[in-house]
Structures are given as C-alpha cells and as structure tokens.
Structure 1
Amino acid sequence: MLNIAICDDEKKLRKDLRNLIAVQLELTGMDYAIQEFDCGESLLAACDAAEQIDILFLDIEMPGAGGMTTAKMLRQSGRKMIMIFVTAYPDFVFQGYEVQAFHYILKPYEEAKIREVLSKAIEEIHGREAQFYIVEQKSGTLRLPMDSICYFKSDRRTVNVVTVRENVIFYGKLDDVAAELPSCFQRVHNRYLVNMHFVTKIETACCLCHEEEIPVSRAYRQDLAVAFAQMMLY
C-alpha cells in the first residue's frame, strides 16, 4: 500500500492535486491511499499518532505552521517520507535543501509534471525497499537499510557505519565499501563516505550530515558541491 498525503490550506488545489495523483496511480495498478490535510498542525498530529506516509506533497505557504516549519519538525522527529514541495513561488525552492526535499512542483499544477515527479518518487521508494548493506560479523550477518545509513568512517582496519539508530563496526576497507554503494553516497574524505540524503549543509572544510560535522578534503570538495546541488533535481 502506497500512502500519500497532501497538505495545502486551499481546498480546491488539494482536490485538483488529488485527482491528478489518483489518475497516475490508477494506471500503475498499485494499491494506494490519499489523505488530505489543510494545515501543518493537523499533518503533524496525524504523524504523532503513528500515521504512515510514504510521499508527502507539502505546500510551503500556509497560515500557522508553514510548510518549511512543518517539514523541519517532521525531519526532526525522524520521519523519512519523500517530501515534494508545492508552491506558487519559485524562490522558495532552494529552501528544500535543509529538509532533504525530493522535488518541487509549481502551481498551477501541470499533469505532465505531476506524472514525472510522482514516477520518480515511486522509483525512489522501490529502490529504498530493495537496498540493504550487508555487514558480516562474528556474531552473524546484519542487513542495514541503505536509507538508514548516515555515513561510513574508516579507522585503520575497521569501518564504522553510523545509522539513524546505531553504530556498527566491522573489518573492511572504505574503498571496498564505496564500490558496493548506490550513487547517493559520496566520498568526502579519505576516511568518510556520506549519504547525501542526510547532508543538510556544506562548507569549505566540512559538511553537516545528520547533525554531525564531517570533514571534507580539498580533493573531494567539488564533487560534493555538485552532488549537493543535484539532490533537488532527481
């Protein structure tokens, strides 16, 4: 079941977006449910009640808790749903970096754009479900979901993988780890590999990954900047 939420204070725009999404999902044959929220507060309350949301279409400009504030609170609570911003103002698009927004859609809605972004979001979900990083330890085998891994850090003969829930140490080389990872992982230092989905800020000598400062060496600085900019395009 694919759970989709639309949060927008304008009832007509919610209905229009819901209809466009439903048309596309009917063509896929997927089971789905679409919920509507007229403000950030009601969306947050639903999430606090353990409501599962896979894809969120979130209006940036709303009374009360605006879209950006709502998005930050969802991320701070550990929610990993795909966020797609909807807005009538292109200038707001770049604020999405801070909350790992997947994409954005400009109002008024265009069916072709909805189809394109929704298709990419569904592909992303399927990819997340299928991807695990396998860690072999003396105590057994661990399967770590790729989308829960924040970064890898090498320390001599061992590698420390830091996830949103735990740290796991295993014997290995960072070069070998890098060869097994999807493109969302970026080398930023001889000792560090970061998951770009958790990177919220980059600076000259470091980046912020899951609220931790990770060193960035000169050799990887440009590649990191390019990867960071591309996060809003795919």
Structure 2
Amino acid sequence: MIRVTICDDEQKQRNELRRVVERSLQLKGLEYQLQEFENGEALLAGLSAVSIDILFMDIEMGQLNGMETARLLRKHAPETLLIFVTSHPDYVFQGYEVKALNYILKPYKEQKILEVLDSALAELSEEAEQSFSVKHKGSQKRLLLRDIRYFWSERRKIHVQTEEETFTFYGKLNEIEEEMPECFIRIHNRYLVNINFVDEVSSEHVLCTGQMLPLSRTHKQTLQVAFAKLLLE
C-alpha cells in the first residue's frame, strides 16, 4: 500500500494533481491510498493517525506555509518523500533544508508530475526492500530489515524486536509476512523471525539472539530446512 498525500489550500490545484497521480498509480496497478489536506495545520494534526510515503505540498499556504510545515513534519516523519509544489522557483533551494526529494512548478505540466512521481516510487521501492516502516508513539519509524530480530503478535498489536528496542504498532502478522524477504521465517502463529539471528533450533523452541521463542509443529520443518541452509553457507 502506497500512501500519498496532497496538501494545498486551493481545491482546484488539489483536484488537478490528484487526477494525474491517481491515473498513473492505477495504470501501474499499484495499491494506494490518497488523502488531501487544505493547510499545514490540518496535515500536522493528522500525523498521529496516518503515515505518509509520498507528500505533495504547496509552499504558499495560509498562516503556516509549506516550508514551516515541512520543518515540523520532519520531527515526526523523517522518511516521508517530500515533493514541493510552488509558483515561485526561488523557493526551490530552501527545500534542501528539509530534505525535499523534488519540486513541481505551477501551472502544472502533466509530464513533470509523472516524472517526479516515478522518481518517488523508485526510491520508495528501493527503501521498501531494505527497511520496514512502523508508526510508534506518534512518529513514523523506518527500521532496517537487517536490524530486525523478529516480529511477534499480541491480539491486534505487533511488536518488532531489534537489538536495542521494541517497537509496537497495530497490524496483522500474516500481512507483514507477505512483505518480508525469504530470510524471515514463520515459526509460530504469533512469531516471525529473521533466520540470520537464529542460534539454535530444538524440538519446541528457537533460540534467537538469546531469546527462547516457541516453535510450532506446523512450521518446524520449514524452519529446520532454512536453518540447515544457513549453516552450510
């Protein structure tokens, strides 16, 4: 799921940008969610409830302009791919301060929108292969896959264990398993482990970086085969 947000105080501009972006995502067959905000204040207020992969944001807006909004955004969502929309090219150079990926000048040229969108999707795809994004304590965190020891579920909550910290968010373990590379192996209906951190496999347990995790009969053979291959490498 790619989460795209458009923040612009002009409805007509939002509609035009949305039309081009949605058509491109649909033609690519990508699953997406697109939302709109009419000012920076509303965008920042909604950060606790939503995560943003790609953000198209107007610079010239109301009391809180796009640049000021971006500075505050970066405190909670440092990994969001930010694309500025502006009528004044002079603002473009300020984008480096908030790590903007690109910019689009008004009036819109459809080809430019498509080029910038493709660039963002390519970067998002590359990052997705190497990391996992979670919402934790009101902030969006991007964890490197190589640092994740295991996932485990507790009712509607998912916990991600790294070397130093545990991150918690709402989700389904089955959906996470589908997104993960082959090194993440299901060992139990509540546990998904990174095989690279497995030290020992017994009949009923898995030792993963010092933690004893349960191993179900259903997943035992798959894990044993994967662990045997790891030992032979």
Superposed pair shares fold, TM > 0.5:
yes
Q: Secondary structure at the match of 2:97?
A: helix
Matching of residues 99-114 of structure 1 within 5 Å? 99-114=98-113
Aligned counterpart, 2:120: 121
1:17 is aligned to 17
Is 1:130 matched up with 2:129? yes
Confirm or deny that 1:59 pairs with 2:58: yes
Q: Match of 1:143, SS? A: helix
Computing the radius of gyration from Cα coordinates, the structure with the larger value is 2
> What's the counterpart of residue 143 of structure 1?
146
Aligned to 2:140: none
* Displacement after TM superposition at 1:77 (Å): 2.3
User: Could you give the per-residue CA deviations for residues 60-110 of structure 1, whole angstroms, max 9, x where no partner exists?
Assistant: 000111100000001122431100000000000000000000000000111
Q: Distance in 2 between the 1:104 and 1:31 partners?
A: 24
Offset from partner CA, 1:161-183 (integer Å, 9 cap, x none): xxxx979xxxxxxxxxxxxxxxx
Q: CA deviation at 1:129?
A: 1.1
Aligned residues: 138
Q: Secondary structure at the match of 2:49?
A: coil
Counterpart AA for 1:38: E
CA shift digits 1:175-200 (9 cap, x unpaired)? xxxxxxxxxxxxxxxxxxxxxxxxxx
CA-CA distance at 1:23 after TM superposition:
1.1
Q: Which residue of 2 aligns with 1:41?
A: 41
Task: Give distance in 2, aligned partners of 1:96 and 1:166.
Answer: 33
Identity of aligned residues (%): 51
Higher alpha-carbon deviation: 70-79 or 4-13: 70-79
Partner Cα separation in structure 2 for residue 144 and residue 108 of structure 1: 44
Amino acid paired to 1:85: F
TM-score (normalizing by structure 1): 0.56
Structure 2's unaligned 5+ residue stretches are: 132-144, 149-162, 166-233
* SS of residue in 1 equivalent to 2:23: helix
TM-score by length of 2: 0.56
Partner Cα distance (1:61, 1:91) in 2: 12
- C-alpha separation in 1, matches of 2:54 and 2:77: 15
Residue 35 of structure 1 aligns to a residue whose secondary structure is strand
User: Per-residue deviation at 1:50?
Assistant: 3.1
RMSD: 1.9
Q: Which runs of 4+ in 1 moved over 4 A?
A: none
